[in-house]
Each structure stands twice: as C-alpha cells, then as structure tokens.
Amino acid sequence: MLSAPVRPTPALAPDTTDPKRFLQKLRHISQRKTLFGRFVKALVIFKPRQQVVPLEIELLPQALEQHTYKVVRSIYFKRLEPFGFSINDTLALPDNDLERLGNALHMRTKRSRLSNTILFKEGDMLEPLALSESERLLRQTDYILDARVTINDSTSTQDSVDVVIYTRDVFSISGSGSASTSGTRLSLRDINFMGVGHQFRTTYRFGLSEPQPWQFTGSYLIENISSSYISAELLYQNTYYYKQQSLSFRRDFYATTTKYAGGASAAWFQTLQPTYILGEGPPPAPNEELSYIPLKYYTQDFWIARAFRLKSYDLARDNPSRFITAARVMNIKYTEGSGPTIQSARLYLAAFGYSLRRYYKDQYLFGFGRTEDIPAGNLLAITAGFEDGAIKNRPYLGVKGAFGKYNPSFGYLYGGVEYGSYRHNEAWEQGVLTSEVLYFTPLHRIRNWRWRHFIWNRTSIGLRRPDFFALDVDQEDGIRGFSSASVRGYRKFVLNYETNLFSPLTLFGFRLAIIGFADMAWLTNVQNRSPFKEKPYTGFGIGARFRNEYLPFNTIQILLGYYPRLPEVGGQQEFKIFQTGRQYYDFNELRFTQPLITEFR
C-alpha cells in the first residue's frame, strides 16, 4: 500500500500583526523637530519591552529554602522610583522627560515603612516562609508595584545571610474631576502620603439635583502601626441618601504564621433605604418614583481570634495548616426606622475553623505583567451565636467551606459555599445559602499577544426570609452595565464570562487590552421557586482596558454593551457605552476573618 506523498512545509507568511515596522516609522517621525514629531515622541514609548522573567511559582523555592534558620546579618533595601526602572533589569533607567518628571514629583517609600512590613529583622533567625511571605506582603500594599526578596549568596555564610530587598513604587498622588448638567465632581487621593504608607481619599460633588445639592466623602487610613500590623481608619461620608462616621482598628491574619487577629470599631449611620429592600412591599414599576424609609443607628463591634499551629511530621518544614478560634460581640442600636429584618440587638458569636493557605505567583491576571499572588488552600469555619434583640431573641448557626487550586497548566479554580440561619419558635428563619465558583484558564501566547479566559458563577438563595426583593443583578452584583430598580428578587443565579487579550501596545504609559464579556442572570422573587423558571437577563459586550501599573488610578475601561431585555425601556433591547475603573473579578483570600453573619446579596 502506497503512502500518501508528504506535502512540503509552506513558507511562513509574513507577520502582519508585528508592530515593529509601524513603530520604526513612528520613531523616524519622532526624531523630526516639527510640532507633530515632538508630540509623537511624548506619546509613544519606543523603549523595547523587557523580557518576562519566568516566575518561581513555588511557595518557597529551593534557592531560598537552603537559608532557613540562618541568622539575618544585614538587610539592604533597593528602592526604585515608579517610572523607567525595573526590578528584573537593574540597568533600566528613565529615558524621557515625562518619566523623569514623574519620578521628581514622587516621594519614595521610606525604609522604615518597608522594614515594618517584612517579617524579620537584623539579628533574627530566618523562619521558613519568612522571605516569600515578606515579598508577598510588600506586593500586597497599595503603594508597592512589585517586590523581590533575595539572598546575596556572594557574601552569605553557612550560618548567616545578607538579605537584599528590591521594591518599585507606585506613583501615589492622583486627582480627577468631571462636570455635567447633573453636577460636578472633584477627587483627590494619596495612597502613600509623605512615603510613610498613610492613605487619604476625598471626593466632593456639588450642583446636584437632590434635596442636598452637595456630597462629601473622606477617609484616612494608617496601615501597620509600629510593625504591629494593626491598621486604623477614620471615615466620613455625607450624602443625601447615606451618611456615615466611623473609626476602626483591625489586625487580620495577614500571614500564614500569624497567631493573633482582632478588631474594634464604632460607627454611626443615617440612611434612606428603599421600602422594598426592607420587605415593605414590591419594587416600583419602571419609571415609578421610589419610596424610602429613614434609618438611624450606631454600632460597636469587637472581635478577637487565635490561630494554633498543627503538628508537623516533617522536621524541616512548618505545617501551614492552622486551627483557629474566634469570638465577637456586636451591638447595634436603631434610633429611627423599623422593618421586618431590623431590630436593636446585641450579637454574640463564636467561630471555630481550619485554614490552609499557600500563595503562588503568576502574571497577566488583573495586571499587565507585574507579579501577582494567587491564594490556594482550604478553609472551613463553623459559626454559632445568639442574638439578644429588642423584639426577639434567637440563636444563629452558620457554616462556610472553600478551596482554591492552582496549576500553571490548568489555571486556577476556586469554589466556596456558605450557609447561615437564625432559629426562632422552633423553626429556622432569615436564612441564606450562597455559593461561588471562579475559574481562569492558563495564559495563552501568540508572539507578543497574550490572552486568558475567566468564568465566574455566584448563587444566592433566600430561605424563609421576609425581604423578597433584597437581591439585584446590577453591575458588580450581576451584569456589567445593567441597572434597574425594578429587577429585584429572592433567589438568583449569575454566570459571567470574560476574555482578556493583552496587547504589546502602550499609549501614554497605559497598556492596552481588548476584553469581551457575556453575562447571564436568573432571578425570582417567589418563595421556594427556582430562579431557572424565570427568563434570564443578559448582557454582551466588547471594549478596551487601559492600565498603567504605576499610577493609583491604574485602570480605565470603556465598554460597549448590548442588553436584549431592559425593563426601563419596555423590555426592549438597548446598547450602552459605559466606563468603569474597577476590575470585575478578585481573589477570595481563603483567610479566616471575624465571625460573620452570612450576607444576603
């Protein structure tokens, strides 16, 4: 039997998507002394993009593991400015006036702030994971773009090490504003005030067509006070529909080795809540005016938690698993307003849990090439308590389970389920059952282009609750670009898909990505009815994401959405162009927090 002839391999077609030829033409134009040439030189970055260094995805690479339990002899901080520098290329320097101007206006993070963030000091014995956990904690701050914690092997000895820490700052100051016929907005913030890590944010609106024609929101945050990892925040918000004044102190299980966590807060609130959210009737029909119930209340909240290390059967490694106990006391006092789910009460909660956390590294998830930390592990928590209320007393029981798995060839998968309910008159009431699944694929590459897919599912089911219209599918709660006061429900199932195509193009320092999305949401306001028996609401769209990792307002998204069914336009289809600066997805940290009442949203 004759075999088929082998076809010759065709010659490779020229790469019409390669931007090199186009950039060379722009470079020649930028070298001209004309006004347009100067504009192109300021607009386009001609510096070749640095090669992406393969990441050590392991939690503790072997190169660092060999230094465990050695004495830290010295710590040297190499602090890099936001623009033009690189952690992976120590020879990189700013090469244009805009980058040099940005660095001149920036105040670098102080060494004392960086020293307070890491988990070891000079003279300490280097504990397992101290290097990698310190690197992650530095990257986790809002004002550090990227960080590397390394060992100087040329000067280290058999019993001591010299640690070198590279950090690259984010340009911390930003302001924005907008004006239209409906009002004017001015915003200012600094996420690294004077280089000490303090953050303040302010927003002022005026000329509004509301009974209160102005709004103001301001906050001041101090992170990691005196190396205690206790953060303090002062918040003030004054709008017509919502007012808040609060002061809080908090210490989380910031690292896998943290033993103690806790918090204390005091707050005052004044809100105008739509009547249908509180269970007082159905939502309004399209174009019908909303009715509100005024609420005034204040809260005091205290909690404390302790993590216990579990036995390790490997003498060379610490067992990352922890058994955790926690207690919480919360007092809430209503001075105005009422509703089926509202009562002044004192809540006592206790929780017991198991936590296993690991972190891996990857790129091109929510950023454009910077190192990002991916949480993986398991979490199980059981919460029990008692509500001593002004109207009724009732016990509470809740349970939560979650896991996260990561593999470079598979991607990332997170799954979680949570249930909580009160018991009164020998029956369970005001219950909630929620679940969440997040998956993203491995990173795919075609030359200088990269893309990744995201799939996200959220389910909320109300159980024997009076607030049949508390759930919505607006914006982050369901469908991007969708907003409707009349689409409310009791049970919902949301499915989101997104694809991100990361391009090699840069404009004014902003990297460009093309995104597409498809969102679906099923919602019912009938008790004991499946949301799948209702017709789904959908949204489809495409757009562009501009991201500058070095600025605090680092993401701008412009999207075109198509919505086949909108109640506000008689159920007809509609196209929308909208802008957002928030990322749609985020990681669940698998971190044990204070004992919580399961949220119905």
| Kind plus residue range of the DSSP H or E element containing 520 | strand 510-524
Note whether 71 and 160 are within 8 A (CB). yes
Write phi, then psi, for 144 (nearest 5 degrees).
-110, 120
Q: Please report the pLDDT score of residue 18 as a whole number.
A: 46
| Kind plus residue range of the DSSP H or E element containing 25 | helix 20-30
What 3-state class would DSSP assign to 23? Answer: helix
Burial (CB < 10 A; 0-12, 13-18, 19+), residue 179, is exposed
Counting every residue, how long is the chain?
601
Amino acid at 125: M
CA dist 6 and 549 (Å) reads: 50
Beta-bridge partners for 71: 125, 160
Sequence-distant (≥ 6) Cβ neighbours of residue 482 within 8 angstroms: 473, 474, 475, 519, 537, 539, 561, 563, 566
CA dist 249 and 265 (Å) reads: 6
CA dist 192 and 220 (Å) reads: 11
C-alpha closest to that of 322 among 373, 385, 378: 378
HEC sequence for 448-490: CEEEEEEEEEEEEEEECCCCCCCEECEHHHCECCCCCCCCEEC
CA dist 502 and 481 (Å) reads: 22
Write phi, then psi, for 452 (nearest 5 degrees).
-150, 150
The whole model's pTM is what? Answer: 0.83
CA dist 113 and 389 (Å) reads: 44
Note whether 199 and 193 are within 8 A (CB). yes
Q: Please report the pLDDT score of residue 37 as a whole number.
A: 62
Q: Please report the pLDDT score of residue 280 as a whole number.
A: 65
Sign of torsion over alpha carbons 120, 123, 129, 132? positive
CA dist 159 and 420 (Å) reads: 52
Note whether 106 and 89 are within 8 A (CB). no
Q: Report strand pairing: 242-251 vs 260-274.
A: antiparallel
Note whether 370 and 383 are within 8 A (CB). no
Where exactly does CATH 3.10.20.310 map onto the chain?
52-169
Note whether 45 and 23 are within 8 A (CB). no
Q: Please report the pLDDT score of residue 26 as a whole number.
A: 57
Quote the DSSP letter at residue 342.
B
Burial (CB < 10 A; 0-12, 13-18, 19+), residue 547, is buried
Quote the DSSP letter at residue 557.
E
Cα of 151 vs its chain's centroid, Å: 31
CATH of 241-580, one of 1.10.3470, 2.30.30, 2.30.170, 2.40.160: 2.40.160
Number of Cβ within a 10 Å radius of residue 517: 21
CA dist 392 and 422 (Å) reads: 11
Instruction: Report the topology of domain 52-169.
Output: Ubiquitin-like (UB roll) (3.10.20)
CA dist 109 and 129 (Å) reads: 24
CA dist 596 and 58 (Å) reads: 32
Note whether 465 and 433 are within 8 A (CB). no
Q: How far, in Å, are 174, 180, 360 from residue 185 at the CA level?
A: 14, 9, 40
Number of Cβ within a 10 Å radius of residue 85: 22
CA dist 185 and 202 (Å) reads: 11
Helix axes 35-43, 20-30, angle to 10 degrees: 130
| Kind plus residue range of the DSSP H or E element containing 140 | helix 130-140
| Kind plus residue range of the DSSP H or E element containing 220 | strand 214-222
Burial (CB < 10 A; 0-12, 13-18, 19+), residue 533, is exposed
As given in the structure block, the two tokens for residue 539 are: 């949204």
CA dist 78 and 398 (Å) reads: 47
Question: What does pLDDT average to in each consecutive run of 10 residues of the chain (601 residues)?
Answer: 38 40 59 62 51 48 75 94 84 82 91 93 88 91 91 89 93 88 92 94 94 96 93 97 97 92 97 77 70 92 96 66 96 89 93 93 82 92 96 96 93 96 94 96 90 95 88 91 86 96 81 93 91 94 85 80 79 79 79 93 85
Where exactly does CATH 2.40.160 map onto the chain?
241-580
Start-to-end C-alpha separation, the chain: 68
Sign of torsion over alpha carbons 210, 211, 214, 217? negative
DSSP string, 230-277: -EEEEEEEE-SSEEEEEEEEEE---STT--EEEEEEEEEEEEEEETTT
Number of Cβ within a 10 Å radius of residue 180: 8
Note whether 167 and 197 are within 8 A (CB). no
Q: Please report the pLDDT score of residue 4 as a whole number.
A: 40
Q: Report strand pairing: 510-524 vs 537-547.
A: antiparallel
What 3-state class would DSSP assign to 372? Answer: strand
Buried b (16+ CB within 10 A) or exposed e, 191-213: bbbebebbbebbbebeebeeeee
